[in-house]
Amino acid sequence: MTVLDDIVAGVRLDLDRREAALPLREVEAAAADAPGPRDPMPHLRSTGSSVIAEVKRRSPSKGDLADIPDPAALAAQYAAGGAAAISVLTEERRFGGSLADLRAVRAAVDTPLLRKDFIVTDYQLVEARAAGADLALLIVAALDDDTLSRLHDRARGLGLTVLVEVHDEAEAERALALDAELIGVNARNLKTLEVDPDAFGRLVTQLPADRVLVAESGVTGPDDVQRYTDLGARAVLVGEALVRGGAPRETVAAMTGLLPARTGADA
């Protein structure tokens, strides 16, 4: 069993518990009553680098990262720094998150919110919309083709913007088969937790220029953002560097708006 398999098994157990406590029809009613979703794409397509700033307490690869007693206050700092979107981890067992975190952040900021989780069923997408999410993450490595396609269509039907995450060439092909507009390239292999620092640079040549590409993992500061921007990323997803750095607002601001470096031929 891979690390990803183990995480998904735990997610399914927690999902069974939530479904038993709150039937889908009640979650659908809450989603229908939620304010309409915000569209992050104009910001993500705008000139200069964009930041998706993450509320992240811990991870399987790094363990405990930060004590975050007030995720709403942290999210407010991200928004003040100019984050294009805020990612809220809601997986409980390995990341220490919850839907309560997502709801608290939604009440505090107007910035588009990403539900960051291991989404494997429609129920989780409806939960996301009911809790105020505007985007949902679909991890290609965690889903077979039929489920990936069905969840992608269901998410869009709910008004959610879908961030489709890939790690290698085969997964990138599967994302393109969906006609995914927003594609995240995760340098970390979720099956082994190993990091391939060249993953983004390798896959960007395979992905059409009209897609909005998000670089994930390995972003520690503006230099990393500049490197990814030069390679073709329109946005970076940053968690650890923000929750550990002690200056989330200033760090987001420093990472935002960077332009691709000019080459000699451009000068």
Residues forming the active site: 54, 56, 116, 165, 186, 216-217
In one-letter notation, the amino acid at residue 71 is P
Residues 220/223/226/232 CA torsion (nearest 10 deg) = -50
Which helix H or strand E contains 216, and what residues bound it?
A: strand 212-216
**What's the CA gap between 136 and 153, in Å, rounded?**
12
Q: Return the closest-CA partner of residue 57 out of 96, 86, 94.
A: 96
For the chain, give percent helix, strand, coil, nearest 5: 45, 15, 40
Phi/psi of residue 189, nearest 5 degrees: -80, 110
Q: Which residues touch 185 (CB under 8 Å, ≥6 apart)?
A: 165, 166, 167, 172, 199, 200, 203, 204, 213, 214, 215, 216, 233
Token pair listed for 69: 């007693």
Token pair listed for 152: 């992608």
Q: Which residues touch 221 (CB under 8 Å, ≥6 apart)?
A: 241, 251, 254, 255
